[in-house]
Amino acid sequence: MTMKLKLLSTLILSMGILFMVSCKSKPKDADIQAAVTTALQSTPGVSADVKDGVVTLSGAVASQADKDAAEAAVKLNQGVKSVVNNVTVTPPPPPPAPTPEVTADDALKTSVASIVKDFPGIQADVKDGVIIITGEQKADRWKKLKIALDALKPKKVDASGLKVK
């Protein structure tokens, strides 16, 4: 009687251990999902779907390196049989080209007039942000004028009508 009971309890115990072991070696999809989701926190934009231990990655990242990193991070998790990497690589758009600051015509006209009055022989006009310079000037004086005009932030200084002596 006691022998029989002992045998039975041993049997139940060993079955229990066997069950626990089998359970540990085969994690449920839900467990894998949780582990994989944690692992993917370092690669935002990627989500995972787990079925029978197969992880399918989807989403979009900025580079191939990010895509590979997501796959590598997932593979490390216990119970993952294989990874289907459906992540797409979309490089970010290039930053927009910087545009220069341009002074409005009215402000530009006032400033241009106050500068040009000190340069006899020079006429200036302002149109659509462009300072149009005509007349005659010595090279060194013209350089001074050009430096002063450029500091007004015009769109352009058009000196095609200027004669440099």
Residue 101 burial (10 A CB sphere; 0-12, 13-18, 19+): exposed
115 scored as a contact of another protein (CB under 8 A): yes
Rounded to an integer, what distance in angstroms lies between the CA atom of residue 103 and that of residue 107? Answer: 7
Helices (H) then strands (E): counts for the chain? 5, 7
| Minimum CB–partner distance for residue 163 and another protein (Å) | 10
Q: How many CA atoms lie within 13 A of 8 on its CB side?
A: 5
The residue (of 3 and 147) whose beta carbon lies closer to another protein is 147
160 scored as a contact of another protein (CB under 8 A): yes
Q: By CB under 8 A, which span of 16-24, 36-44, 65-73, 100-108 interacts with another protein?
A: 100-108
Applying CB under 8 A, which residues contact another protein?
Answer: 97-102, 110-111, 113-115, 117-118, 139, 142-144, 146-148, 150-160, 162, 164
